Amino acid sequence: MSGGFGFTLRARDGAARRGRMVTAHGSVETPAFMPVGTAATVKAMRPEDVAATGAEIVLANTYHLMLRPGAERIAALGGLHRFMNWNRPILTDSGGFQVMSLAKLRQIDETGVTFRSHLDGALYRLTPERSIEIQRLLGSDIAMAFDECTPFPATLDEARTSMALSMRWAARSKEAFVPRAGHALFGIVQGGVHGALRGQSASALIEIGFDGYAVGGLAVGEGQATMFAVLDEAVPALPETSPRYLMGVGKPEDIVGAVARGIDLFDCVLPTRSGRTAQAFTRRGQVNLRNARHLDDPRPLDEACACSACRAYSRAYLHHLVRSGEILASMLLTEHNLRYYQDVMADMRAAIAAGRFADFTAAFAAARAAGDIPPR
């Protein structure tokens, strides 16, 4: 294992866990949500404003950064932390999901993937060794093993073949990883929606040995019930003493359900993407600021929120910005959504520490069921 990286469990409440992860660029209180900074930026946000929402770690994208501006260029400029002015922990994904979802004319073989860039059609080759090298050049605190993200739906045989390839790539990723103080490598559990395959994948990764373990290949169309069923199978197979990361999830209710099943880390584009499309998350559910009912509404988005959008602006003003196509709408709604997500994570951490997680989940569900009631 890489020296200097650490994870400590501080409290449990049922399967829910309260922990602290220590990296080269600081600590992260868990359960934690990582805002997505695909191209070395969280869209519509300055780094200091991301930190002000309560975020302690962000995710950056290996695939996108290798295409533009290039990992070697970022390394020459001092690494990703300096490049994007974020001196806190960074996790980089391996590029496997983006190769599946974005790249053109991809061809997979035992050694890696050949594909054409979705930007300009240029030909690239990505292998476990190159993915790990890119993440080392970027200087991320947490690197991810290179894997094939199993598509959904997939037959049992297709999922088995894909999972087995990912496990071979995981071993090569571990071999290529250069241990450095405070830096970690996570393995990724695959296996589609098949519980037995997920168990086999977890066992293979544990035998290889990683600093943390992610569950990948979910939130790809399988639905919440199936996702939770997979987590019920996969999470208990993972080591108690390592952080657990559910990749690409998600909706607030999905995150709460996953924390209840023992997950520690999350990422998703949903809060930032929604902020750019006039959607706001509140304690009473989602709000569409395009709706005409906000035209004369003097209330803040969420009375309990301390973000600048809620402290200083009315729903009527936010509606006006959205309808006018003003950039400030994206900035304010993105800030609000990230603050909401961070507040949910903080509330869950406090509830787990106090042994009141069941009370939190009940109150969370009740508030969302009540809905966002417009003024009379």
Q: Do 71 and 354 form a contact (C-beta atoms < 8 A)?
A: no
Tokens of 199: 């168990």
Judge whether 93 counts as a catalytic residue: yes
Q: Do 91 and 141 form a contact (C-beta atoms < 8 A)?
A: yes
Start-to-end C-alpha separation, the chain: 60
Would you call 143 helix, strand, or coil by DSSP?
strand
Strands 113-116 and 279-282: unpaired
Main-chain dihedrals φ then ψ at residue 294, nearest 5 degrees = -90, -5
112-116 contact pairs (CB < 8 A, 24+) = 112/146, 113/148
Residues 124 and 116: their CA atoms lie apart, in Å, by 6
Tokens 């544990």 belong to residue: 206
Burial of 285 (0-12, 13-18, 19+ CB in 10 A): middle
Q: Which residue among 13, 211, 267, 297 is the active-site one?
A: 267
Listed residue (14, 20, 31) closest to 261, CA to CA: 14
Q: Do 47 and 86 form a contact (C-beta atoms < 8 A)?
A: yes
Residues 214 and 45: their CA atoms lie apart, in Å, by 27
Judge whether 267 counts as a catalytic residue: yes
The amino acid occupying position 137 is L
Listed residue (274, 43, 63) closest to 149, CA to CA: 63
Q: Which residue among 13, 93, 141, 147 is the active-site one?
A: 93
How would you write 38-78 as a 3-class SS string?
A: CCCCCCCCCHHHHHHCCCCCEEEEHHHHHHCCCHHHHHHCC
Tokens of 156: 């049992």
Residues acting as catalytic residues: 93, 267
